[in-house]
Structure 1
Amino acid sequence: MKRRRLLGATAAGLAATAWPAFLREAFGDGAACDETGKPAAAAGALVQVSAAFRRARQAKRALLVFVIPADDGAKWERGHAFGELLNFGADRDLAPLAGVEVVCATMADLKKLVPSAGDGEPLLVVVRTDKVPVAATQLDVALPSYEGMRLMTGNREELLKRDDAIAAKRIGALGALLRKGLGAGADNLEARAASVRARLVKAPPSGAHWAIASGCGTEVEGVDETGLMACGMGHVPSKSRRFLYFFAVEGRGAPPR
């Protein structure tokens, strides 16, 4: 079997049979089955992670996980930060993403597939799909916050400048983190960044939706009549308005890949 040749030894092939069902499926053994021979049932989010892992392995790429926090408030904050990076990152910030498969997932779901993903809720986890056992590396950095912006005094122009300054720091921190974890190759930056924008900006990464926040509601792209109105949310920094939406969505739009 090709899988056993990849593992390089019969013992490794036998060890693979003890992997979690989703990992066996991701490594090409086909759909995981229960004792009756029927496909094992799985939650949608875990299926997405498994599918992304399989795509990464087949393309001989690493899997990069945008970690979805468990706390709802943290979901909003992190979704806005990732949105800033993808929508406004410079070529050198986005180019490292050209060589990886990207998925958005909680640590709970990721660890069902990759137990070595570690503890906590880092911003990112890199999973090396060519390793047995699978190797995972956490990438994390403290991001500047917009907290308190509503209380700042000054005219609108000054507030926008403050917003943009904070956004630039957040994007720069995430870009540096990607270069550190994925490599900072300087070749073909423009072309690589363009491929990332085509793949992850026009459509969302697997496991998330793109959404628009206006300060008086949220509109999820590709989903009709989401009803996510919440006037009074207040000021939304301009570079944060299009963001990754990490919540379940009811509607007729297509689900994440």
Structure 2
Amino acid sequence: MNRRIFLGATAAGLAVTAWPAFIRDAFGDGAACDMNGKPSAAPPVAQVSAAFRRAQQAGKALLVFVIPADDSARWERGRAFGELLNFGADRDLAPLAGVEVVCATMADLKKIVPGAGAGEPLMVLVRTDKVPAAATPLDASLPAYKSGRRLDRSSWEQQQKDEEKIAAQRIGALGDLLRRALGADERSVAARAAGVRARLVKQPPAGAHWASSSGCGTTIEGVEENGMVGCGMGHVPEKSRRFLYFFSVEQRG
């Protein structure tokens, strides 16, 4: 029987004091997820290849949520995508109905799509109907949260309001990016958004896990055992508490 154990850091990027030897702390070193969010032994590049084929067979484009190489950037980007998928309005999510979505590093993407481009944009849109496949980077500037939690009540209440405003700005920026790249078709918006939520919110996109943290450790959904770090060590904005986890969890036989 496979046994998967994770000892995590908070979404704020807290350091972990003792990683088990069999946990890989970089995406792609261990098992990831298949198209249904189930643990898979397939390496990340194989998941990109499979997603490309699914998109091609369905006559769709492939949208890649880019996983940064830097660990801290992975936490931040996973939070941003989590905010979009969990709290985006129908019009923000509806454009995703027409694409196949996968999470991957640029290094893995380039093994399948050599012309994917440079840098680490938020997303890359790959047109699968041409050979070689045409790729377009999609990028935007997202406002950052202020770190730490304010202690007195009035400051804490103001911080919550500030974080709500920043979350709305981040979701809005990502939604606008998707509408500009994929189109802003106003037909059946609610139905298309519902389909996206069923496909990408109930289960994670291929190449990622859903995880959650409120500043008291990180829990990865679908993992049988989860380690925790000390409570009260970090603060996570409310809409960032469920996020895409871009590190792999290794399976043990």
TM-score normalised by length of structure 1? 0.78
Structure-1 separation of matches of 2:233 and 2:114:
38
CA contact (8 A) 1:117 1:125 kept: yes
- Whole-Å separation in 2 of the counterparts to 1:171 and 1:228: 29
What is the distance in 2 between the residues matched to 1:96 and 1:106?
A: 22
Q: Is the 8 A contact 1:208 1:244 kept in 2?
A: yes
Q: Contact between 1:225 and 1:251, CA under 8 Å: does it hold in 2?
A: no
Aligned to 2:139: 140
Deviation at 1:233, TM superposition (A): 3.8
Query: Equivalents in 1 of 2:60, 2:201: separation in Å?
Result: 20
Deviation at 1:43, TM superposition (A): 6.3
Tell me the SS of whatever aligns to 2:97: helix
5+ residue gaps in structure 2? 1-40
Q: Following the alignment from structure 2 to structure 1, what is the Cα–Cα distance between the partners of residues 52 and 229?
A: 35
Distance in 2 (CA, whole Å) between partners of 1:238 and 1:111 is 35
2:143 is aligned with 1:131: no
Match of 2:238 in 1: 238
* Bigger mean CA offset, 159-168 vs 222-231: 222-231
Return the alpha-carbon distance in structure 1 between the equivalents of residues 96 and 240 of structure 2: 20
User: Is the aligned partner of 1:188 residue 2:188?
Assistant: yes
| Residue pair 2:124, 2:135 contacting (<8 A) in 1 also | yes
Instruction: Provide the residue aligned with 2:57 in structure 1.
Output: 58
Instruction: Give, in whole Å, the separation in 2 of the partners of 1:197 and 1:215.
Output: 25
Q: Pick the structure with more helix per residue.
A: 1
In structure 2, relative to structure 1, the CA distance for the partners of 1:131 and 1:82 (3 Å cut) is same
Q: Which runs of structure 2 are paired with 1:1-257 in the superposition (5 Å)?
A: 44-150=43-149, 154-250=154-250
8 Å Cα contact 2:216/2:228 also seen in 1: no
User: Any conservation in 2 of the 1:102–1:205 contact (CA below 8 Å)?
Assistant: yes
CA RMSD of aligned residues (A): 1.8
How high is the sequence identity, in percent, across the aligned residues? Answer: 71
Count, aligned residues: 211
SS in 1 for 2:49: helix
8 Å contact from structure 1 (residues 139, 181) kept in 2: yes
Paired amino acid for 1:235 = H
When Rg is computed on C-alpha atoms for both structures, the one with the higher figure is 1
User: Displacement, 1:160?
Assistant: 1.4
d(CA) in 1 for partners of 2:229, 2:151: 25
Distance change (3 Å), C-alpha of 1:187 and 1:152: farther
Q: Mind listing any 5+ residue stretches in structure 1 that lack a counterpart? A: 1-41, 253-257
Residue 251 of structure 1 and its aligned partner are, at CA, apart by 5.5
Cα 1:231–1:144, aligned 2, differ >3 Å: closer, same or farther? same
**Could you tell me which amino acid in structure 1 is paired with residue 48 of structure 2?**
V
CA distance in 2 between partners of 1:152 and 1:115 (Å): 49
- Matched residues in 2 for 1:152 and 1:168: separation? 24
TM-score when normalising by structure 2: 0.79
Q: CA deviation at 1:248?
A: 1.1
The code of the aligned residue for 2:207 comes to G
Are the aligned partners of 1:223 and 1:251 in contact in 2 as well (CA < 8 Å)?
A: no
Kept in 2: contact 1:145–1:166 (CA 8 A): yes
For 1:226, give the aligned amino acid.
N
- Looking at both structures, which has the greater relative contact order when contacts are Cα pairs under 8 Å and sequence separation is at least 6? 2
Counterpart CA distance in 2 for 1:232 and 1:78 is 23
CA change 1:251–1:233 in 2 (3 A) is farther
